[in-house]
Structures are given as structure tokens and as C-alpha cells.
Structure 1
């Protein structure tokens, strides 16, 4: 195994990762007995509605399986989730199952810390392995092996405060989309009008960006035809298209002041912003707002319309204390019935469930048209956010080098060249 691939979080938890991945190698050859019957599942959600649904599935599994004593969903901080998970792996006390981000999939898979579940999924009566959309499995597959079930394949979309936009005399995004005029330039114009008219503090928020998580800007990058790296492991930051994408956002932040600058924060669901880029699965708080809202797919850019999908995969850990029970719970939680229940929060990877009629049964918040346009169509045409071996170190070095871009008079060309200088050795080492 390439040494660079032995790090899940080389930058933020290097020592822990090395120990964890060394212990994890063997792909399922670790603890495979019955264990103590106390299943532990690592997740990053603390949303009570999410946990209530997860616990109801767990209760049903427990009721039909006398070997299970307890099932605990351990909510880890989403901002340092992978670090905490890696530390647990290193300590020799891994959870039995856990959620994994698509950007970190390569690290966990290539370090042999996950169990290949494809044989069990194919053998399980009534499971419907062939019902899974192949394009949505790409990050989790290696040959015929499948190391996680992408229970949440959630497209990014633009949610908007229709009242704030109307009061600012900004065009309605849904109307623009129906006229094929929904572009990033149109979004920037609407955001500027909202900010200038003060119908909200800001015109646009990029969820969880905070000038730390640069990959939250991937929707803008892809709309400009830019990518952080290529399939040949070449750095993409110094490309002119990437410079244009970053400058587009910089103009919103430092000239138009229509998106928060460094150190500024706002909350869309409290009415502090006219629009937000976020995953469709995070729309729950809209049930409680008093203003009219809407949702549209990501806008078109110079490179056309590029829809972006964020994923979370459920996996069984190779060193799980209760590996056999964990496999059984995996199959139960991801079968067609439970996937349909989870679909109210987490867009599923099953073709049979990706219809507006099916999703509408568990998603009363969105209309059938909104479900079709913002979820189903986006899943069929979109691409999953790119990951890479050694993603954590790549991510940290990219963030550190990009810090210089978040100043009013930054030289974007110079900054992006510096990003490439910082990450090219890592890209080549992981090839």
C-alpha cells in the first residue's frame, strides 16, 4: 500500500490515523465474532428528528434480533467528525458502523478499514442490490466490492427567501429557471439587490463555508469548468477558470458585500439572508419559517449547468467488536423499506424510490415539482463532490494556501499558484 494512503487525517490527526489504519488493514479480518451485543454507530447529526427516525429503525431491528442488547447512535461534532472517528479507530475502540463523507471515502477504503458489503447485499433475499443507481456508488466501489451504502445522496440547491427577494425587486429564481435564465450572474445580481435594499443582512450564504471549508465553493468552481485537481492528479487551482470562479466569489464578498466576509456569520433560516447554497436534506427548518420560500437547482455558469451532489455512506468497520451483528443491521437499515423511511431526510440511491410521487410521501415540505427538479433531476445529471487519497492533508494545505485569497486586494493568480505549489507533491504521492 502506498504510504500516503495510510492517512485518513494526516494533517489533523496524523499519529492517530497511522495507528488506526495500521490496525485496520485486513478488510474485515479483525474482530468478526458476536461481540457483546451492544452496537455503536457513529453519526454527525444531533437533529432530534433524524435521531428519532434512526432509533425507530434500531428498535425494530433489536426487537427481531435477541442477540442485540443495545444500539447507540453516537453523535460526533460534524465540524471535526472525521478526526474524532479516526481517533476512535486509532484507540482500538472503533464503532461498529459509521457514517463517512464522500470526500474521505478513498482514505477509509484504501486503508482497508471497511468491510466489503457487496456479497452480503447481493445474497440478502429481497434486498434489491440491482436497484441501486450505479452512478451514485462510484465513490464507494472498488471493482466488484462496495464498502459503504450512500444512504444520503443529497444534491446542493439554492433555497431562497421569496419575500426578501421580492421586497428588493430581485427576480424570482424559480421564474428565471423556467426561462433558462437562472445563472450565477443572475444570482449575484439578486444577492446584491437584497443587500443594497437591506431586506436581509446578506444576499447569499454558502452553508458551512466560513472561509475554512473551501470545498463548499465547489458548485461555483464546477460552473466555471474548474476542478481542484484532475483525474491525472494534476493541480487545477492555477487554471484560469479556477481564478475566474474564485474572483466571482471574491467580488460578492468584498465588492458587493452580498455574502459574509471573513469572521461574519448569518443564518438563512432566521431570515438573515436572501439565499443559501445547501443540501436539499438540510431543508427541515423551513417548516417553521413565517416567510415565503422556494428552491431551485444550482444556476448555470460559463461551463453550463453543473449539479453537485454531497454524499454520506453507511459502512461497517473491519475492526468492529460486533461485526456480524453490524452487517445484519447494515442490511436491515438499508433495505428498501427503511430506505423509503430515511428518504424524508436523506435522498436515497435506489432507482425505484427516485420518483416525485414516492418522495412526496415522506417529504411534505417540497412540492412534487420541487422534488423532481431539485432532487431527482439533479441526482441523474449531477456529479458527486470529488475526494482523493490523503484528502484531509490536501484539504488542510489547500485551506491554508487559500487564506491569502480572502482579502480585498488579494492577487488571485498568485494565490492559486501557491496552492498548487503546496498540494502538487501530495497529489503525485497519491497517484
Structure 2
């Protein structure tokens, strides 16, 4: 079998040596599904034809199969043994080239450029925010015919339905999810236990959060303790607005609804956390502290941190025994709870030289019950198959944080809908930054004026003006 390259131009043997052969190779062997031969023995193995092959691909096929991902070292590692094992046993004449670690901002220009230039990879990582964008522009290869003739394991009854909706455009599946997450509040109990009994009740509200955060805030300057850290972007505004009864767009995503008084009230609420109460750090505060996100929470200076479930394992490692902590669900309100995030998928770019092979690999890795638990545990992502979703919670958490499953997974699955991206979302996100950054980043007070401006330009973009 030919040597295989990654995006770092490393052979598999070099990659294993880089990661530490003595300990890591044994780990790969333990992760591998039954029947996957070790890499160095694959050349001597017979070509495997099994339930993961569709018959659409010649076993003697040769060439270079290219993959691109924004996930870098420490993130993509969990996929590599399964990708390589698939080819080594079934298509040993194929080389695999993985371009990993493409910076997030660069990824969304690099991949379209490759597709438009007629030199696309054969398989690509995709975020739900582009789930409709790429099919609408003709940048992705439909998987519908493959799913109908050779469905993934457990399809469709065992798959998270909201993730399938995000992957479907005009009735055709264009990607297959590899994991999903929900939002929660990560709670420093050393700060909050004297204010709010733990675990927080399921029916706690955004107003409850504000009151707890104000009481938990203390000190000044570099010694200040903030009661909460709530990141503010379009999805946060949507979550609060929906809880109180208003969407940011109409149901068809053809008109904006940013001039709704409830949306204005939600925006003022988020603004007040930073600029009136001072209970949530501003971007300037975080810059001065030299910390942000989950790392600021791990430092012990945040009472409640709003984040997605896949940071849980990283927090566990970063906090250690520094302080006791727990998890609370996203607050609720008159219209319900809205903290379902979604996730990411694999897609076949338009123009792929090996679309059938790309689907076989996707089906093998992303629906295989022998593989998904490893991806869930190592990535802190809920696997797309519902029967395996618990593997997205870190090991041992049932004992350490008994309510974690309920707060993140159970209540997450119960949430009625999700933030629906649309075909012009990529262009629209620039409008959000134009009108909302002065409000939420700089602290300007003209909230209503900015929302009306955003609404007008949103409608122009969507053709509803």
C-alpha cells in the first residue's frame, strides 16, 4: 500500500512517531473497531468487502482521496485511525491526504475557492451554519441517492432529527452529522452556593440569572469577580427573545423581525448584563485580564459561564480541584427553553472525484456503533445516533456531576426548535457585526436605532424590503 499523507505532509508512520508511538499506538489499537488491521500490516491483508462497502466502488480503485478540516492537532486525531483503517482494509491502493487545522476564518474562503476553481477535496468538514448555504450555491454533492440505496446504520429512527433537518436542503440530504451539542450554564459553586441552592431548578429564568449574577458580582479591577459570563451574538439574542415569545426572523427566513419590541427587550437585557449591572465582563474587560471564554471561568473569576456542552471535558481538566463546580440548564421562560446548539457534519464537495467513496467512508465512520462512542468521548460531542448520545458526556460524570446529563442532554433534546440558519447567512453575518458590534462590544446605547437599521438591511438582503 502506498504511503499516506496528512495536511502536514507527514506519512502515517511519521504521524505516529510525532504523537508518541509507545503510548499512542496502543491507544489507537484500542479505539479501532473489530477487524481493523494495524496500519503496518494492512498491506498484507486481503481487501475487505463487508456491509460498509456499497458495491459502487471498485476495490482496486487508486488515486489520492483528499480531506479538509478546520480541526487541528488534538481534535482531528480521534478520526484518523478510523479513516485510515477504512482505506487500508477496503481500498489499499488509495492514498489519503488530510489537510487539517485550517483556521476557522480561512476555512470558509478556502473551501469555496477550491470548489469554484475545479479542484475540490473529496470530503469536507461542514458547520451547520453552512448547511443550506452550500447546497443553495451548488457547492455540495447530494447524498440522498446514497442514503436511499445504502442507508447509514440506525437510519433514520435512531438519528437526532433536528440534526438531520439541518443537513437537508429542499428535501435532499447534503451532509451527515458527526456530533452535536447543547448550551448550558457552568456554575462555580464556590461563588453561587450561598445565593442559589444547587442544583438550579429546571424552571429558573433569565431574570433569575440576572439577579443571581448581580448578587455574585464583587470587587473591582483585576480582583473583580463577575457573576456571569454570557457571550452575546445573534444566537444568544435569539435564545432570550424566543424564551419571551419572538423570533429574529419570520418562519421562512424571508424577513427580519428585529423591530419587534420583545427582541428589543431581549437586546436591552443582554446589554444591561455588561453595561448596567457590570455582572458580565465586556470584551474590554476580558482583554485587560488576558483571559476569555472557558479559561476565564476556569480561573475562578466567573460565577456562571454560558457555554456549549463540548467544553465540559476541557473545563474538567483546567479546573481540577481548584473549586467545586456544576452545571445548570439554559434558563426558561413563558415560551419555553431555547438552548439547542446543533453541530457539524461531513459533506461531499461538488466536483469530488470520488463521491461514492466519500459516502462509504462517511457512512462507515459516522454511523458505526463501534466507532461513535470513541468519537463522542474524545470530542465531548453527542454522537448523531440517539442510542449513543450519552457518550458525549465525559467519563465518570454521573458520579461527579449527577445532574449533568439532565441539564445538558435530556433538557436539550426536549427543546422544540433550534436557530435556523438560511441560505444568505454568510452575507447576513456581516450586517450583524455592522449594527450590533457598536452595541454589544463598544457599549453604545442606541439599541432600538441599531435594531431598526439591522432589520431594514436584513430585509434588503433577503428581498423583503
The normalised TM-score by structure 2 is: 0.75
Which range is displaced more, 33-42 or 317-326? 33-42
Q: How far is 1:391 from its partner?
A: 0.8
Cα distance in 2, alignment partners of residues 113 and 408 from structure 1: 39
Residue 422 of structure 2, aligned match among 373, 388, 402: 388
Residue 414 of structure 1, aligned match among 449, 460, 463: 449
Higher relative contact order, chain-length normalized (CA < 8 Å, sep 6+):
1
Change (3 A) 1:381 1:375: same
C-alpha contact (below 8 Å) 2:219/2:225 kept by paired residues: no
Cα distance in 2, alignment partners of residues 125 and 383 from structure 1: 25
Partner of 2:65: 39
Partner of 1:69: 95
Change (3 A) 1:384 1:303: closer
C-alpha contact (below 8 Å) 1:155/1:309 kept by paired residues: yes
Cα distance in 1, alignment partners of residues 455 and 425 from structure 2: 15
Cα distance in 2, alignment partners of residues 171 and 97 from structure 1: 48
Which range is displaced more, 134-143 or 418-427? 134-143
RMSD: 2.8
Cα distance in 1, alignment partners of residues 240 and 61 from structure 2: 47
C-alpha contact (below 8 Å) 1:298/1:307 kept by paired residues: yes
C-alpha contact (below 8 Å) 1:219/1:308 kept by paired residues: no
Q: How far is 1:298 from its partner?
A: 0.5
SS in 2 for 1:203: coil
Q: How far is 1:248 from its partner?
A: 0.3
Q: How many residues align?
A: 386
Q: How far is 1:158 from its partner?
A: 1.1
Partner of 2:76: 51
Asked if 1:60 corresponds to 2:85, the answer is yes
Cα distance in 2, alignment partners of residues 268 and 80 from structure 1: 28
Partner of 1:194: 216
C-alpha contact (below 8 Å) 2:122/2:358 kept by paired residues: yes
Asked if 1:108 corresponds to 2:134, the answer is yes
Asked if 1:285 corresponds to 2:301, the answer is no
Change (3 A) 1:349 1:393: same
Cα distance in 2, alignment partners of residues 413 and 57 from structure 1: 51
C-alpha contact (below 8 Å) 2:177/2:366 kept by paired residues: no
Cα distance in 2, alignment partners of residues 272 and 44 from structure 1: 30
Partner of 2:344: 312
Q: How far is 1:52 from its partner?
A: 2.2
Cα distance in 2, alignment partners of residues 383 and 67 from structure 1: 45
Cα distance in 1, alignment partners of residues 71 and 431 from structure 2: 27
SS in 2 for 1:153: strand
Query: Structure 2, unaligned stretches of length 5 or more?
Result: 1-56, 287-291
SS in 2 for 1:152: strand
Asked if 1:339 corresponds to 2:368, the answer is no
Q: How far is 1:274 from its partner?
A: 1.9
Q: How far is 1:108 from its partner?
A: 0.5
Partner of 1:158: 185
SS in 1 for 2:458: helix
Cα distance in 2, alignment partners of residues 383 and 214 from structure 1: 16
Query: Structure 1, unaligned stretches of length 5 or more?
Result: 1-31
SS in 1 for 2:65: strand
Q: How far is 1:71 from its partner?
A: 4.5
Asked if 1:296 corresponds to 2:317, the answer is no
Cα distance in 1, alignment partners of residues 432 and 355 from structure 2: 36
Partner of 2:273: 252
Partner of 1:82: 108
Q: How far is 1:378 from its partner?
A: 0.9
Asked if 1:177 corresponds to 2:201, the answer is yes
The normalised TM-score by structure 1 is: 0.80
C-alpha contact (below 8 Å) 2:237/2:263 kept by paired residues: no
Deviations 1:359-399 (A, max 9, x none): 56x64345564223311331232422220111111111122
Asked if 1:235 corresponds to 2:259, the answer is no
Change (3 A) 1:342 1:368: farther
Asked if 1:352 corresponds to 2:372, the answer is no
